[in-house]
C-alpha cells in the first residue's frame, strides 16, 4: 500500500467510524481523506471501494493493536488479547464492530462479506496461536465477538466477563 493510499484509507476509516456508512457525502469523505476529489477517485473509484479501503486499514490497525508484542505465556497472552480488545472498544469504537456495521449497511456485497470473514478468521487464528488454544478458534471468536458486541451495553464489565470465559476455556471442568 502506498503512502497516499494509507492516508486516504485512514481518513475514510475515521469518517465511516464516526459517522456511519450512509451519512458522509463524497465531499465529507474527500475532506476526511485530505485529498482532492480527483485523487480520492483515482485511488478508490467508487463508494464501495472507499468502504473496502477503510475496512482494510482498520483490519491492519486492529491486528497490530491486539496481537503485536503479546506475552509468550499462553494465559498471559489470552488476558492481554482480551484486555486490548477492551481498550480498542474504549478508544476506537464504543458502538460495536465496524465490519459488521458495513455488512449490515450493504448486506448483498460479496466483497464486504469476504473481508468480514477474513478479518474474523485472522483474529480467531491469531488468538488461538498466541494462547495455545489451536482448535478452539470458534470459541475464542465467540468470546472476542461477545466482548465487542456487549461493550456498548456493559463497558469494562465485558472485559472481566470475557476474562472469566477465557479462563474457563483454558481450564475445562473447573
Q: What is the pLDDT of residues 33-88, one digit of tens each?
A: 999 999 999 999 999 999 999 999 999 999 999 999 999 999 999 999 999 999 99
For the domain made up of 3-170, the CATH class stated in words is mainly alpha
CB 158 within 8 A of CB 145: no
Instruction: Rounding to the nearest 10 degrees, give the CA dihedral for residues 50, 52, 58, 64.
Output: -130
- For 83, the grid coordinates are 484486555
d(CA 76, CA 18): 32
CB 41 within 8 A of CB 83: no
d(CA 171, CA 174): 6
Identify the sign of the CA torsion 79, 130, 140, 149. Answer: positive
Kindly indicate the confidence band of residue 173, based on its pLDDT and cuts at 50, 70 and 90: low
Mean pLDDT of the chain: 94
d(CA 41, CA 47): 9
- Give the highest mean pLDDT range of 1-5, 37-41, 88-92: 37-41
Largest Cα–Cα distance of the chain, in whole Å? Answer: 60
Cα distances from 115 to residues 41, 108, 111, 160, in angstroms, run 21, 13, 6, 29
Query: Which of residues 68 and 95 earns the better pLDDT score?
Result: 68
Q: What is the pLDDT of residues 16-40, one digit of tens each?
A: 999 999 999 999 999 999 999 999 9
**Which DSSP string corresponds to 43-106?**
H--SHHHHHHHHHHHHHHHHHHHHHTT--SSHHHHHHHHHHHHHHHHHHT-TT--HHHHHHHHS
**In the predicted model, is pLDDT for residue 92 greater than 80?**
yes
Domain boundaries, the chain: 3-170
**In the predicted model, is pLDDT for residue 94 greater than 80?**
no
Answer whether 0.75 is exceeded by the pTM.
yes
Amino acid at each position: 500500500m502506498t503512502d497516499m493510499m494509507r492516508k486516504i484509507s485512514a481518513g475514510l476509516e475515521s469518517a465511516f467510524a464516526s459517522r456511519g456508512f450512509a451519512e458522509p457525502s463524497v465531499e465529507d469523505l474527500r475532506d476526511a481523506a485530505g485529498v482532492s476529489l480527483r485523487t480520492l477517485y483515482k485511488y478508490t473509484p467508487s463508494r464501495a471501494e472507499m468502504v473496502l479501503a477503510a475496512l482494510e486499514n482498520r483490519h491492519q490497525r486492529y491486528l497490530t493493536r491486539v496481537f503485536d508484542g503479546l506475552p509468550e505465556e499462553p494465559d498471559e497472552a489470552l488476558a492481554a488479547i482480551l484486555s486490548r480488545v477492551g481498550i480498542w472498544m474504549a478508544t476506537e469504537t464504543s458502538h460495536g464492530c465496524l465490519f459488521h456495521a458495513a455488512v449490515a449497511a450493504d448486506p448483498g456485497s460479496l466483497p464486504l462479506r469476504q473481508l468480514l470473514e477474513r478479518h474474523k478468521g485472522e483474529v480467531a487464528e491469531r488468538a488461538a496461536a498466541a494462547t495455545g488454544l489451536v482448535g478452539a478458534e470458534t470459541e475464542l471468536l465467540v468470546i472476542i465477538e461477545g466482548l465487542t458486541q456487549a461493550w456498548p451495553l456493559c463497558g469494562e464489565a465485558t472485559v472481566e466477563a470475557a476474562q472469566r470465559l477465557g479462563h474457563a476455556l483454558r481450564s475445562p471442568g473447573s
